[in-house]
Chains A and B, each alone.
Chain A
């Protein structure tokens, strides 16, 4: 009873703001509606449309590409920075703060800064490239550079979070282990590979899931920086769902896309959870 009492506030919030909306979204995904007026029940039509929709597949492929590139870099760079910040570095506190700062700034505000940097006609990045005698890059008119720009910004935004989690993990590793390894003649690289990385397993597992979910749900950075363009080159599942639900007013189709994003995320989390259970217990 006491347990339930403690649980109740969270449970009420989760039911109200999570489970009920999910059920309503499922219901919406079986309808054709603009969000107002009379909705029409269309069964699985929205899902059938999705299977035949090249823009959906393109957005899915872009999402997978975005995830496959951002997640390993975020993990590796987060770990590298955490190791660096864990060592006796001058002005360590200041550097840590600088790295974590993007985390506390709104994603939209950060993306606005990125827009100024990557603005094609006279943004800072192109100006610097020009000064260095290099060609200007079509950040807003060419697909590949546009994708690179959103990936760079997404990594910059998430790096601090990865570093903080790894830093916490690093500080829980006994210094005696490194001392013993050094006595045995292990190099710094061997110490990193054989002590740090394995003992950070639970942190890596947690970060892997968090980063993959965040990458699958990326919205703000892309919406503000490229709006999914040029020509759909940076369209990902959530921006595509938003476009359908709110810009084209096909709310049923938008909801169906949302449900697919939910299912993909759930499946991935489940697979990760099953395959990484032992590592989860290792810490």
Chain B
């Protein structure tokens, strides 16, 4: 799922008509050659401030170790895939780029990415969390390295909770004592009755590219989006429970009305400006929030129903099928996913590692390290079957339909029955099942 980087929309739209600077055109195929031009890699990514600094450090380190040159090209998130699509179409794509797990499936299924099977030994593959390696694989072959992951947890404004009469010393801290849906609803009700009309109990981060985060609620209810063949499973009692509960967020005025899946106002902004007392937010935004927030806040586990669940955020690094020097590209990917590099990147950016050796408290987080155990703990609720569904090549297309259907259900009065039936049809369309 997309970890949306909040980068000014100005740059995003201005960039619609602007070609990416600095992306030297690599049109040649073949690899392993030794001439000078082959010692250069182009690497395109989007990045928050802390991510950019971390990428620059690691690129410099790789250049020193390998003697190669890496042209790092940082672009706004909003223009990232429009540009990559156009560059792939014109045979002008960068050698290496960053991609979320949902989009990775679109590229790998269209044979746009370098098959890394021959570049990684079984031992190296085994070093990764199995679910994350699965997330970069298509038809059994890996098409990238899982670079980091990211999950949402529930951030709370302690001042606002206390003002509503909620005892903040009894807030849940681990998966074991996470709020149930009922307990969460009680807190929301209590907040609603104490907050003025223009403030809201919470906001969910399912706007725009984040729409698939709605699946966390489906998974918590014990539901499934689709089976292994891609046949829709959402039209179920669990699907109805998840939809009814999330629709009640709008009916009960627990969330701001503009924060719908097609809305343009993001959860972290509403939380920072204290329009909401709580917000579901990914850990990658912790550095930004630490900088902006002028109130006491902490992180809690997401509520649970039949089980705990969260979204699969984070990104992979991939090499393009036409990379000028596939060996060098693969070497760069291996370097970026190495234990040291991943540890320093995740530590600097509050993101979670994908190597089993770095699980638990192995990474030292630079900012608000006190909150990170909640996210690390939350990540354990991701099950392999969730990953399978979230990384299906059809998921990007399903997300588009989900955005329209959830919007219709949340604020346009579309019935649960119709919404689930429409979602099932959209899944069938996308997967051909």
Chain A interfacial positions (CB closer than 8 Å to B)? 34-37, 106, 108-109, 112, 115, 119-122, 136, 138, 140-142, 220, 223-232, 246-249
| Residue in chain B with minimal CB distance to A120 | B258
Task: Take A36-B112, A229-B264, A231-B412 as given contacts and tell me if A249 and B258 are in contact as well, using a CB distance cutoff of 8 Å.
Answer: no
Report if A36-B85 is in contact (Cβ < 8 Å); known contacts: A120-B265, A138-B258. Answer: yes
Check B82 against A121 for contact (C-beta < 8 Å).
Answer: no
Nearest 10 interchain pairs by C-beta = A141-B257, A37-B110, A36-B88, A140-B258, A141-B258, A121-B275, A229-B262, A35-B85, A35-B89, A36-B89
24 A-B residue pairs with Cβ-Cβ distance under 8 Å, sorted by A, are A35-B85, A35-B86, A35-B88, A36-B88, A108-B14, A109-B10, A112-B9, A119-B265, A121-B258, A121-B265, A122-B198, A136-B198, A138-B257, A138-B258, A140-B258, A140-B264, A141-B411, A229-B260, A229-B263, A230-B262, A230-B411, A248-B397, A249-B106, A249-B396
Q: Which residues of B contact A36 (CB under 8 A)?
A: 85, 88-89, 107, 110, 112
Q: Bound state CA distance, A220 and B412, in angstroms? A: 26
Residues of B within 8 A of A232 (CB): 262
**Contact B400 A247, beta carbon cutoff 8 Å:** yes
Which of A109, A142, A229 counts the most B-chain CB atoms under 10 A from its CB? Answer: A229
Main secondary structure of the interface of A (DSSP, over half): loop
Q: Do A122 and B258 form a contact, CB below 8 Å, given A34-B106, A246-B85?
A: no
Docked Cα-Cα span, A225 to B263, in Å, equals 10
In B2-17, which residues have CB < 8 Å from any A CB? Answer: 8-10, 13-14
B290 at the interface (CB under 8 A from A): no
Q: Which residues of B contact A (CB under 8 A)?
A: 8-10, 13-14, 82, 85-86, 88-89, 106-107, 110-112, 198, 208, 256-258, 260, 262-265, 270, 273, 275, 396-397, 400, 407-408, 411-412
Nearest CB of chain A from residue B384's CB, rounded to whole Å: 27
Given contacts A36-B88, A121-B256, A121-B258, whether A231 and B411 have CB atoms under 8 Å apart is yes
Q: Residues of B contacting A140 with CB < 8 Å?
A: 258, 263-265
* A248 and B407 in contact, given A121-B256, A141-B258 (Cβ under 8 angstroms): no
Looking at A35, A109, A220, A248, the one whose CB has the most chain B CB atoms below 10 A away is: A35
Contacts of B265 in A (CB 8 A): 119-121, 140
Nearest chain B residue, comparing its CB with the CB of A220: B13
The answer to whether A108 touches B262, judged by C-beta atoms less than 8 angstroms apart, is no
Query: Are the C-beta atoms of A122 and B275 separated by less than 8 Å?
Result: yes
User: Contacts A122-B273, A230-B263, A231-B407 hold; do A224 and B13 have CB atoms under 8 A apart?
Assistant: yes
Task: Tell me, in angstroms, the Cα distance from A178 to B267 when the chains sit together.
Answer: 60
Tell whether A120 pairs with B256 under 8 Å between CB atoms, given A34-B106, A36-B85. Answer: yes
Q: Are B85 and A249 in contact (CB under 8 A)?
A: yes
CA distance A108 to B13 in the complex (A): 7
Cα A141 to Cα B260 in complex, Å, equals 8
Chain A, residue nearest B13 (CB): A108
- Take A120-B265, A248-B397 as given contacts and tell me if A230 and B260 are in contact as well, using a CB distance cutoff of 8 Å: yes
Among A37, A108, A231, contact of B260 (Cβ-Cβ < 8 Å):
A231
Q: Which residue of B lies closest to A106 (CB)?
A: B14
Give min CB distance, B297 to chain A, whole Å.
18
Chain A residues with CB below 8 A from B408, complex form? 231
> CA A247 – CA B103 in complex, angstroms?
11
Q: Which among A34, A109, A226 has the greatest number of chain B C-beta atoms within 10 A?
A: A34
Q: A121-B256, A224-B13 are in contact. List 14 more A-B contacts (CB 8 A).
A: A37-B111, A108-B9, A108-B14, A115-B9, A121-B258, A121-B275, A122-B273, A141-B256, A225-B264, A230-B407, A230-B411, A231-B411, A232-B262, A246-B85
- Residues in B with CB closer than 8 Å to A37 are 110-112
- Give, as a whole number of angstroms, the nearest-CB distance from B221 to chain A: 25
How distant is the Cα of A80 from the Cα of B257 in the complex, in angstroms?
Answer: 39
Complex Cα distance, B275 from A220, in Å, reads 27
Question: Across the interface, which residues of A come within 8 angstroms of B88, CB to CB?
Answer: 35-36
Chain B contacts of A109 at CB under 8 A?
Answer: 10
What residues of B have a CB within 8 angstroms of the CB of A220 in the complex?
13
Within 8 Å CB of A247, what residues of B? 400
Are B198 and A121 closer than 8 Å at their CB atoms?
yes
Contacts of A106 in B (CB 8 A): 14
Q: How far is the CA of A232 from the CA of B111 in the complex (A)?
A: 34
User: Taking A141-B260, A230-B411 as contacts, is the C-beta distance between A34 and B9 under 8 angstroms?
Assistant: no
CA gap between A228 and B89 in the complex, in Å: 27
Give Cα A35–Cα B110 distance, bound, in whole angstroms.
11
CB nearest neighbor in B for A142: B257
Q: A231 — which chain B residues lie within 8 A by C-beta?
A: 260, 262, 407-408, 411-412
* Neighbouring B residues of A228 by C-beta, 8 Å: 262
